[in-house]
Structure 1
Amino acid sequence: MKLCEKEIEKLVNEMHKQKNCCECVLEICSGEMNLKNKKEFESLARFFGSGLNSGCVCGALIGAILISDLKNKNLGKAEAYAISNRLHQKFVERNKVICCRILKPQKRCNEIVKNMIADLLEID
């Protein structure tokens, strides 16, 4: 992925007006990855909003893990899990929790989405 920080910020700010965190991560990253079934893939993301609609796992983290798996689909399971674990660990280090019900009231969703996209860029 070759998006710069300003492009990511602009896309996130615009998209987040109508889309949840998972949709934002998936749409921005899938556009860069030229995914074939982009529409179907994006429709899956709507169910990950508001922490699985229960305040649980942040959708930005879910979206980043889904994209990382697509980007690294040729890796073995252990290597793919290592990347997923690294994304999770960075998320927790940065945000302390992964629960949407705790993060959302802090009004940091755009920042969290941008950070997850940046983390995905580092994996390249």
Structure 2
Amino acid sequence: MFWSKQKKDEIEVEGVVGNVAAEAEGLFRSGKMHCAEAVLAAIRSNFAPQIPEAVVRMASGFGGGSGSGCVCGAVAGGTIALALVLQEDKKQIGSLTKELHKWFKEQYGATCCKVITQKDKGGCPLLTGNVAGKVAEMLKVTQEK
């Protein structure tokens, strides 16, 4: 499944990937979490529920580009989520992190929060869901190997 910045109703979502994307977007829209927390929470609950929920709070400083407006919080949350699930496989974590950044840059033109939100700050909930869905997709493929 290929995730893009298309409108949600144009995206065909199935199974765990769609559930993760919808969960992350919902958490962001609820106002209870920002982008990084929402991505991490959705991945944790679907791929590593044995990990304490308190781990999600570790991502609380990454929203809004880590306060400086640089790396997108959703991407930072996705990177943390990859490490949370894959844990000891640093080579795979590094490879998937590069893949996530490349995919994100192709979709949104940059990984910098300031650049992305300058065009459309209202797109953050969907972007958050898309990143969570992409990370879930990457993890599913990894688990199927």
TM interval, short-chain normalised: 0.7 to 0.9
- The answer to whether residue 73 in structure 2 is matched with residue 90 in structure 1 is no
Identity %: 22
Task: Quote how far apart the aligned CAs of 1:14 are.
Answer: 4.6
Alignment check: 8 A CA contact 1:16 1:24 kept: no
- The answer to whether residue 29 in structure 2 is matched with residue 16 in structure 1 is yes
C-alpha RMSD of matched pairs (Å): 2.0
Alignment match, 2:132 = 117
Cα distance per residue 1:30-71 (max 9 Å; x no partner): 1112042221x1211111111001111111000111111122
What stretches of structure 1 move > 4 A for 4+ residues in a row? none
Distance in 2 between the 1:20 and 1:11 partners?
A: 9
Distance in 1 between the 2:20 and 2:53 partners?
A: 20
**TM-score using structure 2 length:** 0.73
Alignment check: 8 A CA contact 2:69 2:113 kept: yes
- 3-state secondary structure, aligned to 2:111: coil
- 3-state secondary structure, aligned to 2:110: coil
Letter in 1 for 2:95: A
Q: Unaligned stretches of 5+ in structure 1?
A: none
Task: Quote how far apart the aligned CAs of 1:25 are.
Answer: 0.4
Letter in 2 for 1:71: V
- 3-state secondary structure, aligned to 1:97: coil
- 3-state secondary structure, aligned to 2:16: coil
1:36 aligned to which of 36, 40, 51: 51
Matches within 5 A, 1:23-102: 23-32=37-46, 33-39=48-54, 41-75=55-89, 77-102=90-115
Distance in 1 between the 2:86 and 2:23 partners?
A: 26
- 3-state secondary structure, aligned to 1:16: helix
Distance in 1 between the 2:71 and 2:41 partners?
A: 19
> Aligned pairs, how many?
121
Task: Quote how far apart the aligned CAs of 1:94 are.
Answer: 0.5
Task: Quote how far apart the aligned CAs of 1:11 are.
Answer: 5.1
- 3-state secondary structure, aligned to 1:57: coil
Alignment check: 8 A CA contact 1:48 1:62 kept: yes
